[in-house]
Structure 1
Amino acid sequence: MLNFITPCLLKTDSKVTILEISKNIYKIPKIVAWIFPRRIWFGTKGSVCLTFDDGPHPEITPWLLDVLKSNHIKATFFWQGRQIEKHPELLKRALEEGHLIGHHGYNHVSGKKINWQEFKRNFEKSNALVDSDLFRPPYGDLTQKQAKYILKKGELVMWSWMSYDFDSSISANELIQKLKNQVGDRDILVFHENEKTIHKIKEIIPAIIQEIRDKGLNFALVEKKR
């Protein structure tokens, strides 16, 4: 998930990932947003944005929607096209409850590992199912050509804090403590709805909602640049 090392940030070769990082960088350095200003890295003042990738998931998503509803929170979801085809009722429910839906590709595949035509097919097939102008690239991986294509069609949404909820070596308590120490105003947080997070997500989300409220911050949807 978004592997990067600072020296690579200035590379311009079309096959270099947006960021090539070491391991488990939770908080994205602000210089990254400066280098890639057309991408969305931060939310609105006084708030944080909860975002969820990879769904919809038949067990996690209904539970998550229930928790968000009971806490009066709207979130932004970046869902895979193939998952939406399996669970269209969850897309319908999320939209009816006021959440913002973006897409995450039809298949969860790195842009740098597929050719141009495959990338376009993966992007367009997913976009047709969601009909959204918000896209988050799997792993944060894109070539320059792919990024330009996306930005002509809509918004390229990144993040400022990665939860690593999918990493089995990181405990729920450790993750919550990282958030308590690192997350602040305008951060866009990423969590995941998949088999790797199925046991951890139900423990961390209620605690994280409380931590954010204890900081005196609100919850907001990702705002478009245009």
Structure 2
Amino acid sequence: MFYFTKTPALLKKVYSSCIWSLSPTAPVVYFTFDDGPHPQATPFVLDQLKKYDAKGTFFCIGKNVIEQPEIYQRILSEGHAVGNHTHNHLNGWKTGNKAYLENISTAGEYIRSNLFRPPYGRISPFQIRQLHQQKPPYKIIMWDVLSADFDTEISGEDCLQNVVFKMKRGSIIVFHDSAKAWDRLEYALPRALAHCQKEGLRMEVLPQ
């Protein structure tokens, strides 16, 4: 499996209308969580965020919001942000434009947010333009640090190292509150949060 744990500058340039990181001037990083809500992983994430006085942004799948409404409401009630991650975790490169945009719209009936993250990070220039033309326009959120907790061939320690050695002020960091990521998430997330706290970094929600 090939992927970048630190997003290359060239990729950011090609998709320059997407948001890859925020201003590095303040001691702030942004933890984000994809694919939930999940009955085991998401409550764990919420408990850890509370423990370390951190806030996160959850890019939710619409069908999972329907299946886990109490957990979704807990995300909101505890002061975290949410974003749209499509209704069925669709790959924009493999889905027709009309079907892809309609799937995002369906998710938007349950996820009230102008933040959007494409599953797998795969989205076409046309799809980006269409989302930017919505009213209100979507902010398309990518990342500059990938924990790679979805990769079953690496360890939780590997995920932790991906985060602590590659993040910087303003970094947008990706974890997954999903069954597939659980073993690595459980190990890496609390240690990454503790590291940020020790380094004096605030962990805040992405601005909407």
Normalising by structure 1, we get a TM-score of: 0.85
Q: What residue is the counterpart of 1:219 in the other structure?
A: 203
Q: What residue is the counterpart of 1:76 in the other structure?
A: 57
Q: What residue is the counterpart of 2:22 in the other structure?
A: 43
Gapped runs of 5+ residues in structure 2?
A: none
Q: What residue is the counterpart of 1:93 in the other structure?
A: 74
Separation in 1 of the partners of 2:163 and 2:110? 33
Aligned-pair distance for 1:210? Answer: 1.4
Whichever residue aligns with residue 7 of structure 2, its letter is I
Q: What residue is the counterpart of 1:64 in the other structure?
A: 45
Q: How many residues get paired?
A: 203
**Greater displacement, 106-115 / 175-184:** 175-184
Separation in 1 of the partners of 2:52 and 2:41? 17
Whichever residue aligns with residue 139 of structure 2, its letter is E
Structure 1 residues 42-77: Cα deviation after superposition (integer angstroms, max 9, x where no partner): 134311100000000001111211121122111000
Task: Please list, as runs of the form range in 1=range in 2, the aligned pairs for 1:1-226 lying within 5 A after superposition.
Answer: 23-44=2-23, 45-152=26-133, 153-224=137-208
Whichever residue aligns with residue 11 of structure 2, its letter is V
Whichever residue aligns with residue 14 of structure 2, its letter is I
Separation in 2 of the partners of 1:24 and 1:214? 29
- Structure 1 vs Structure 2: percent identity of aligned residues? 32
RMSD of Structure 2 on Structure 1 (CA): 1.5
Q: Work out whether residues 43 and 223 of structure 1, in 8 Å CA contact, stay in contact via their aligned partners in 2.
A: no
Whichever residue aligns with residue 201 of structure 2, its letter is L
Normalising by structure 2, we get a TM-score of: 0.92
Structure 1 residues 70-95: Cα deviation after superposition (integer angstroms, max 9, x where no partner): 22111000000010000111111111
Aligned-pair distance for 1:174? Answer: 1.7
